[in-house]
Amino acid sequence: MTENKRAIDRTPVTSEILGNVTVLQPMTILNLSEAGLQIETPYKLQNDSLHDFRLSLGERSVVVKGRVVYCQVSELHEGSVIYRSGVEFAAISAHALAAVREFVAVHNAPPSGVIDGEIS
């Protein structure tokens, strides 16, 4: 018999206890604003569910809590499905909001170096 090496004994569960686990999964961000984002995933997200979303915004990485507003089939491929979901931010820190605003401002700016011209 193996020796119990735990500092604190665990209590056997005699009734059902349910729980959830958070697992980081990849997503493709289609668009982004300070209010939310639209994403594509190879898995379905439950409407009205809350999730933490890790966003890599250039040099900055932030985590925001968002609520799934809708999730629908976007594409069907042989043997796979792509889901498109709309997410509204439910809780966003000042730091994360500043990062999102900066990222959106930079990516919405017209291309630099463009000048007016004519072709004759």
Fold of the domain spanning 28-107: Thrombin, subunit H (2.40.10)
Model confidence, pTM? 0.74
pLDDT value for 35: 96
* Cα 15 from chain centre: 34
Q: Helix, strand, coil proportions of the chain in percent (round to 5)? A: 10, 40, 45
pLDDT digits (tens, 9 = 90+) for 36-83: 999 999 999 999 999 999 999 988 999 999 999 999 999 998 889 999
The domain locations on the chain are 28-107
Place of tokens 């997200």: 45
* Cα 115 from chain centre: 37
Neighbours of 43 (CB within 10 A): 12
